[in-house]
Structure 1
Amino acid sequence: MSRIARRFAALLAGALLLVPGVVAATPASAAGLTQVTGFGSNPGSLNMYSYLPANLPSNAPLVLALHGCTQSANDYYSHSGWPKIADTYEFAVVFPEQPSLLNPINNCFDWGTPSNDSRGQGEALSVYQMVQYAETNYHVNPSRIYITGLSAGAGMTADLLADYPDVFAAGSIDSGPAAQCSTSGITNSNCTSGSVSQTPQQWGDLIRNSDSGYTGPYPRVAIWQGSADTTVNPAEMTYNMDGWTNVWGISQTPSSTQSLTGGTTESSYNDSTGKPAVQTYSVSGMTHGLAVDPGSGADQCGTTSTYYLASICSSYYTAKFFGLDQTGTVPTLPAPTGLAVTGTTSGSVSLSWGAVSGAASYDVYRNGTLVNASAVTGTAYTDSGLTAGTGYSYAVAAVDASGSIGAQSAAVNATTTAAALCFTDNNYNQTVAGRAYQSGGYTYANGSNQNMGLWNLAVTHTLKETSANYYVIADGQC
């Protein structure tokens, strides 16, 4: 391949993979990897390949694994380590494949064009149709669908988690841009260089707007990044973390950190139950690629190659984050729907939500912390003792008779009203100021009509405005 052709390929990839020696992707043909045709209308013109461990049980989990630019389904199957982990924990793996983009060299998933990376459109819909095919033909568990991807595949993974939060239980973004960063194609290098810096709210809004009518819980998200990556700036890990912690309504400060093998730092951002909702993995000194750790150990996987870099078996730790190494990880009850703020005062917020079948009670969370001291058996709750003029975030989870806590609802925000105003003055001045009125020589508070005594300069009271133009006598209370 000529130097000109290589440079053209790299430019088309939008610097997502800077290719030192591009090798055209080869068809998936390894033993155990099977191509599936006729899985749907396939508007994105993708290929579908599946790996099914022997004796795959019914209701098994499903992982979708998306390759990076210049790669193929077979390439990802051969080097990522997912087949070994699928054999160990007995789940199905689907490897979507982008056969070409603009020319047959790049093989990049189009994470930057709305017609391809939006819910119900293009490549995004093609991947969703693969999920539907697996649910029907492999009998996988619809509540345990996961997705992971590298580089351009990571960009598409981030978009799909935002597009289909009702489909994916969790996902892993490996060396990729933040969800829905670009609307002008994958050549938008601003989304890989770290130069598009936004607030957590703005990153979160991009996720929320991907499926604006969605009110349920969001997927849990793992984010992997090499600290020496010059193709996807390490700042993108922070942007991804900011967006996903924001939609979860949790802090951008880690709940805990720990050191893993391969110079990897794991940071956990926990939900209100203490379970990581978002987890980042920074691999010290690693450049652009997927972290692998060849070997026969239980925590080792993959083989090294271009963009498969020896340090840590990211697929193994991602599987653990997904909960694929455990049983009973799916909440027994679904998330309540219809959570709404029904009223606010200066010191309280009132909430209501839809009933969940099988729920014995409900837990209410304020800013990620459980607030009800006793069981809430109905579908309404008033949180009191709050600070006036302050914003709060709320979520609700159903609890069954055994005490098992279900999935949390989507968060809603509420702001308490400003503190009540107090005015101390004589009765004459209170009426002049419009807070009271006089009748028959006596003074009465507006709204409450409380008798304040004679209408003169000698009698003084404190009036508290509890709502617009409604005053009560509050002597000694303000």
Structure 2
Amino acid sequence: MRRNLKAMAVSLVLGTLAASAHALTPGSGTWVKETNLFGLADAYTYVPKNTAPATIGKGRALMITLHGCGMTASGNVINKKYNWEDTAEKYGMVVVAPTVPSGTTATRTYSGCWDWFGANHSRSTRDEAIILKLVDAVKSRSGLDIDPDQIYITGLSAGGGLVVDLACVAPDYFAGVGINAGPALNTPGTAGVGSKSTRTAQQVANDCRAYAGSSYGSYLDKQITSVVNGSTDSVVDPTHDWTNRDGMKLAYGANTSAGTFTEVKSTGTLWKDNAGKIRVSYIEATGMGHAWPAGAGGSGGGLYVDYTHVNYPAYVTQFFFDNNLRVQRGDPKPVMTSCSASVASPTATAVTINGAATDNGSIASYSVSISGPTPSNDNAAGSGPSFSKQYTGLANGSYTATVKATDNVGGVSDAACSTSFQVGPIALVPPSDVTAPAASVTANEIVLNWTNISGATSYTVTRTGGAGTVVVSVPAASGTTTSHKATGLLEKTSYTFTVQSVGSGSTSALSALVTVTTKSAFTCTQTTASNYAHVQAGRAYTSGGYAYAKGSATKMGLYNMFYTSTLAETSAGYFDVGNCPK
């Protein structure tokens, strides 16, 4: 096999960690017949005898392997026929091979075939219900240590058709599915599967999501699929495999190519999702017909088992182990749950850092990194579920402390916990955005606004102009801005303002000057009338046969009843031609 060597190396390292953390009870290394069959004709279970397999997660993987039409577990699958044994030993994986229930039903069109036919599948009816009961029974069996996040299913032909059904109706059960020459999802039972598929990839994706529903749809987001078929398959046309492949790509949102690879007399392609996770694998076995590709090392499976192409049990198991999205790989890292910093008083030069973390083992140490005027790094701040440690001799200023935990096997918390604190008085700055909105300025009042400064508890506002200098202390508002209204001002008078931040015994520099002029107390009125009427009312006077505005002496036109003007009295007895200013 030629696969990503780095991924394989990581997988082996993680597998070693998991094997040491989760001791497994060895099995007999033989196929044992099941007694609880739930309607199956029979079923056989293989529990590996390897005492140190390359496991991942929190226990053993479980693989359900389904035969094709006209086959049985004993005649075509177990005892090297499907070639699961070596792979099961390598990975410590339990393999279960059931035989289809005998006879036909209202939905099982052909005896000896798994009931993939048509639509209307569910987790509580037909063969899906039987397989799920089998999984539950094996999963709960004492001594097997099955990890529920590592349950997989594969199948040939009708078995492959049932696999894609189960992938969709019970995605919470299966972290990975392997479809080998299976009819496209919801293909009618009357359709000739040797002909091209009449289903589309979008139909498969839509139907799969619909089967999963709102209760189980989220599990599709952490499921992976492998599809394999022979290039010359005439029993189930390869278009069915392509439709299932592309449908699952759509269901997973995995439409980006992740490269190609080769296996024995076979070629493959991978696809990843938007998060960069491998989700779908496809293999075409060149020149192979309708068959389970058991690969070298197996024998005796009959007409529909191939031993000259890809070793699919080995390939699909490694694909599942390398790309499982549900399993917790290796030993979990510690998690910081809290941290805090406390300074005893505004004059203190020491801080006490507290922190706590959780882990599946124990916390061996905490590290504290302090940044600020007096930085420091401490890799031995404490141990155990929590710690508290004091750091002295700190200069005045703002600080941030970052805390991480290390567990008893060297795992370091991914997310650090950070906390900020202040030693000594805060170096205050003045507000930088002092403004006096025009709408707030009247003849006798001016309103100032500014954004609050961190650490300021009040502000000193200094006003000059008019009757002299006035200094006012303004408490900091609880919101993001503070306002001050200057009252008792003179009309039409220029005033200047500065603001200083005050807090913790210190006062900032002055803000930039803000100059504002109060408005006039007089209310402008305007009158439109003939020039004759304006003169008679005292708003204008006449000279040389013309009318002039009183005060501004602006010429208005002929002094008679036929010329009309608008005069605005902008101050007492003073008139301008035109409207009042707005």
1:82 aligns with 2:84: yes
Question: Structure 1 CA distance, aligned partners of 2:44 and 2:211?
Answer: 27
Q: Does the CA contact (< 8 Å) of 2:77 and 2:301 recur in 1? A: no
Question: Structure 2 CA distance, aligned partners of 1:328 and 1:196?
Answer: 33
Corresponding residue for 1:212? Answer: 213
TM-score (normalizing by structure 2): 0.46
Summarize the Cα distance change of 1:318–1:109 in structure 2 as closer, same or farther, 3 Å threshold. same
Q: Given the alignment, which residue of 102, 106, 122 partners 2:126?
A: 122
1:249 aligns with 2:261: no
Corresponding residue for 2:504? Answer: none
Q: Does the CA contact (< 8 Å) of 1:145 and 1:169 recur in 2? A: yes
Corresponding residue for 1:169? Answer: 175
> Per the alignment, in what secondary structure is the counterpart of residue 90 of structure 2?
helix
Question: Structure 2 CA distance, aligned partners of 1:47 and 1:92?
Answer: 17
1:34-433 to structure 2, matched below 5 A, reads 34-38=32-36, 42=38, 44-54=39-49, 59-74=59-74, 75-78=76-79, 79-102=81-104, 106-113=111-118, 117-137=121-141, 138-182=144-188, 185=189, 187-189=190-192, 191-198=193-200, 200-213=201-214, 214-218=216-220, 219-251=223-255, 254-262=257-265, 264-295=266-297, 301=298, 305-309=302-306, 310-323=308-321, 330=328, 401-402=413-414
- Could you tell me how far 1:53 is from its partner in structure 2? 1.3
- Could you tell me how far 1:181 is from its partner in structure 2? 2.7
> Per the alignment, in what secondary structure is the counterpart of residue 77 of structure 1?
coil
- Could you tell me how far 1:254 is from its partner in structure 2? 2.9
Question: Structure 1 CA distance, aligned partners of 2:99 and 2:60?
Answer: 22
Corresponding residue for 1:466? Answer: none
Paired residues, what number?
A: 294
**Bigger Rg, structure 1 or 2:** 2
Percent identity for Structure 1 against Structure 2: 27
Counterpart AA for 1:275: K
> Per the alignment, in what secondary structure is the counterpart of residue 162 of structure 1?
helix
- Could you tell me how far 1:304 is from its partner in structure 2? 5.7
Q: Does the CA contact (< 8 Å) of 1:319 and 1:325 recur in 2? A: no
- Could you tell me how far 1:315 is from its partner in structure 2? 1.1
Corresponding residue for 1:447? Answer: none
RMSD: 3.2
Could you tell me which runs of 5 or more consecutive residues in structure 1 were left unpaired when the two chains were aligned.
Answer: 1-29, 296-300, 334-356, 359-399, 404-478
> Per the alignment, in what secondary structure is the counterpart of residue 147 of structure 1?
strand
Q: Does the CA contact (< 8 Å) of 1:144 and 1:330 recur in 2? A: no
Question: Structure 1 CA distance, aligned partners of 2:40 and 2:49?
Answer: 29
Q: Does the CA contact (< 8 Å) of 1:66 and 1:95 recur in 2? A: yes
Question: Structure 2 CA distance, aligned partners of 1:113 and 1:237?
Answer: 16
Structure having the larger proportion of residues in strand: 2
Question: Structure 1 CA distance, aligned partners of 2:170 and 2:245?
Answer: 18
Kindly indicate whether structure 1 or structure 2 has the higher relative contact order, using CA contacts under 8 Å at least 6 residues apart.
Answer: 1
Corresponding residue for 1:475? Answer: none
Question: Structure 1 CA distance, aligned partners of 2:129 and 2:326?
Answer: 30
Counterpart AA for 1:160: L
Question: Structure 2 CA distance, aligned partners of 1:165 and 1:233?
Answer: 26
Question: Structure 1 CA distance, aligned partners of 2:101 and 2:236?
Answer: 22
- Could you tell me how far 1:148 is from its partner in structure 2? 0.3
Corresponding residue for 2:399? Answer: none
Question: Structure 2 CA distance, aligned partners of 1:97 and 1:38?
Answer: 13
Summarize the Cα distance change of 1:135–1:327 in structure 2 as closer, same or farther, 3 Å threshold. same
Corresponding residue for 2:578? Answer: none
- Could you tell me how far 1:302 is from its partner in structure 2? 5.3
Question: Structure 1 CA distance, aligned partners of 2:323 and 2:86?
Answer: 13
- Could you tell me how far 1:123 is from its partner in structure 2? 1.2
Summarize the Cα distance change of 1:196–1:319 in structure 2 as closer, same or farther, 3 Å threshold. same
- Could you tell me how far 1:293 is from its partner in structure 2? 2.2
TM-score (normalizing by structure 1): 0.56
Q: Does the CA contact (< 8 Å) of 2:29 and 2:49 recur in 1? A: no
Counterpart AA for 1:320: Q
Summarize the Cα distance change of 1:55–1:255 in structure 2 as closer, same or farther, 3 Å threshold. closer
> Per the alignment, in what secondary structure is the counterpart of residue 126 of structure 1?
helix
Summarize the Cα distance change of 1:46–1:139 in structure 2 as closer, same or farther, 3 Å threshold. farther
Corresponding residue for 2:463? Answer: none
Could you tell me which runs of 5 or more consecutive residues in structure 2 were left unpaired when the two chains were aligned.
Answer: 1-27, 53-57, 333-357, 360-411, 416-582
Corresponding residue for 1:345? Answer: none
Structure 1 window deviating more from structure 2 (267-276 vs 308-317): it is: 267-276
Deviations 1:8-27 (A, max 9, x none): xxxxxxxxxxxxxxxxxxxx
Question: Structure 1 CA distance, aligned partners of 2:126 and 2:217?
Answer: 24
Q: Does the CA contact (< 8 Å) of 2:156 and 2:181 recur in 1? A: yes
